[in-house]
Structure 1
């Protein structure tokens, strides 16, 4: 399943690992916040709290890896620090292990944020965006601390993976007054190429992509107002804006996997402004509405055994760029 971070109105935002086996959120209230990891690959989900001696700040970011560890991004004095958290047993009771990964300098006017989980489940990336230039950092899965992998003119936001190898990344770049989605080739020295340009003056953002079918979910003001639309990666056909997707601030958050070269039949789940869930396929002319299920924020709490030692970092795969 292709997913992005899911934000629920009754609790903190969750981020789900690349393979769907773990999720993480910042639990607690006020000044008593701590990281919490949920295990999803089992008969029922359960939570593992990962508190440390000091509580976490409310603006800390979490990202679960497929080996069960949780990456945390904190603002510490004049640096953005990154670390891995994991549960570890002890005779006196449960403890939280922490592996420091280093950091990058904090600069005025530069926003630093984590990208969605990389497809391999081991690497993690952060974006440092200013008004004139954006730097892409690999902050986990590399040999020696944060490593700069790309430097992109303009201010970037968003972040969508376009393939299963973790080589192609889409970012929404604001440059010279307009915002266009661009593709960054992490296996080609950070080369940047245009991805979306519906009209010359429109703001064209990529919300979600499915590498199996090539389906792209887009938000653009090319029709005269911001609208949801869809297209196909590598296709020469124009982006379409179905009337049934005229839904205001609706957000696509999951795509049906395994629909190889069949974007028209690929199911998409959307979070609707009213709080309900919408189900839609490009081949359909209507949207199915479902009431959102109740949110369970107090799952059973268990302690896992310590995770196995991490394997040596694996370099990004060098895969050829194949268009459809």
Structure 2
């Protein structure tokens, strides 16, 4: 049986980043992907928390379509999202000796004007899974696994939503990018308050501000916004609950390349600026790996290991980057890369930053403050003030 690496791209017409070659559970014990044997596709589960990674094929009664979504659950089962005759079907697959067991979870019949339905990133805990069904004026959040009676409608969010990042370790606080009125802003959906929606990120009134990745331990978030360069999105970073502005490092501007963060080093609760961030870099000659820390002024570029399932990987707390790979010779392997030592640069050096609201706490001379003039003290007339990241409702919501 021949396995090959898959490098899917983003869905046509979607604002979501390129899809990874496989999906990794939030706790990192399992991964799942579509593998191929000849012209046939089948789900495959990888176990990553043992001495050596190993794969278990989970073929069904018939081959899967190339667009079938798969996602690992915390107990080792694999969630499968299929489409047939306009219906979205969900099942859990698991090995049963030489065969594949399948537990149907039910189906979602979306209105004809629904443009797409896709799985959200794996939820913390691994017991539940969610999907977004995007319509022309609103988006429905569904719980498709872990409920008592099949797929359950959780909330309806006004606007067209994309992206998706979990902001806590309990699977309660979800950030999505919502498009309304021609602008896209990251918002928070509180799953324990009937899907209540609150603003999360607004760099400027007329900017598109998306959240790409978040680490619940440190509060570090990676965003993309066109506030510093209208019409062209730039990568930036901030810390949930911080009084410092969002930064846009120059080193993350790579000409003719698409840069997508895909993993943040966990366990750095008190030093978010020291978290290592793994970047997928797509250029004219393929994809490779970048490693960057907010405290540094450079991206370390590393060649992608052979067979890397592009965009997939995880950090360990002690700074080891693990990248799943598949080649005909090694159909299930994990490349292990140590994070380069930090150069000791200050967070924010040679960066652009978005100024604070005047009613927020002062941020002068704080750690990580960028060099240069204080843009928040610019004389009138001034451009529209941004809403700083510390106004996100995460801190007070989680403590309730």
**Structure-1-length-normalised TM-score:** 0.87
Between 136-145 and 287-296, the greater mean CA deviation after superposition: 287-296
- Tell me the equivalent position of 2:122: 117
What is residue 293 of structure 2 aligned with on the other side? 281
Deviation at 1:322, TM superposition (A): 4.7
Name the count of aligned residue pairs.
297
Structure 1 portions without partners, runs of 5+: 1-5, 302-318
Aligned-pair CA distance for 1:31? 5.3
How many angstroms does 1:227 deviate by? Answer: 0.6
Q: Which residue of 1 aligns with 2:235?
A: 228
Shift of 1:9: 7.0
Q: Partner of 2:247 in structure 1?
A: 240
Structure 2 residue aligned with 1:108:
112
Shift of 1:109: 3.3
Q: 1: CA distance between counterparts of 2:7 and 2:282? A: 12
- Secondary structure of the residue aligned to 2:246 is coil
**1:76 maps to which of 72, 84, 91:** 84
Post-superposition CA distance 1:263-315 (Å, at most 9, x none): 111111101124221111111111111111112334468xxxxxxxxxxxxxx
Q: How far, CA to CA, are the matches of 1:12 and 1:97 in structure 2?
A: 26
Q: State the secondary structure of the residue aligned to 1:166.
A: coil
Query: In 2, distance between residues paired with 1:213 and 1:119?
Result: 16
Contact kept, 8 Å, 2:165 with 2:212, in 1: the verdict is: yes
C-alpha contact 1:12 1:26 (8 A) present in aligned 2: no
SS in 2 for 1:321: helix
Alignment partner for residue 176 of structure 1, among 163, 173, 181?
Answer: 181
Is 2:205 the partner of 1:197? no
**Which residue in 1 is equivalent to 2:259?**
250
Which secondary structure state, in structure 1, belongs to the residue aligned with residue 65 of structure 2?
Answer: coil
Aligned to 1:313: none
| Equivalent of 2:99 in 66, 85, 95 | 95
Aligned pair 1:270/2:311, yes or no? no
Q: Which has the larger radius of gyration?
A: 2
**Alpha carbons 1:126, 1:138 under 8 Å: kept:** yes
Unaligned runs of 5+ in 2: 10-18, 308-325, 333-394
**Normalized against structure 2, the TM-score is what?**
0.71
1:61 Cα deviation after fit: 0.3
CA contact (8 A) 1:31 1:55 kept: no
Q: Residue 219 of structure 1: which of 220, 224, 242 is its match?
A: 224
Separation of aligned partners in 2, 1:188 and 1:12: 31
Q: Residues 265 and 275 of structure 2 are in contact (CA less than 8 Å); yes or no, is this contact kept in structure 1?
A: yes
Alpha carbons 2:306, 2:327 under 8 Å: kept = no
**Root-mean-square deviation (CA), in Å?**
2.2
- 1:321 Cα deviation from its structure 2 partner: 2.0
Contact conserved, 1:35 with 1:51, CA < 8 A, in 2? Answer: yes
Aligned to 2:397: 321
Shift of residue 182, structure 1, vs aligned partner: 0.4
CA contact (8 A) 2:263 2:278 kept: yes
CA distance in 1, matches of 2:134, 2:244: 32
Out of 4, 21, 39, the residue aligned to residue 29 of structure 2 is 21
Q: Which runs of 4+ in 1 moved over 4 A?
A: 9-12, 298-301
Q: Compared with structure 1, are the counterparts of its residues 30 and 126 closer, same or farther at alpha carbon in structure 2 (3 Å cutoff)?
A: farther
Distance 1:100 1:115 in 2: 19
Distance in structure 1 (CA, Å) of the matches to 2:158 and 2:264:
31
**CA–CA distance in 2 between the matches of 1:85 and 1:103?**
15
- 2 CA distance for matches of 1:108 and 1:261? 48
| Rounded Cα–Cα distance in structure 1 between residues aligned with 2:155 and 2:242 | 26
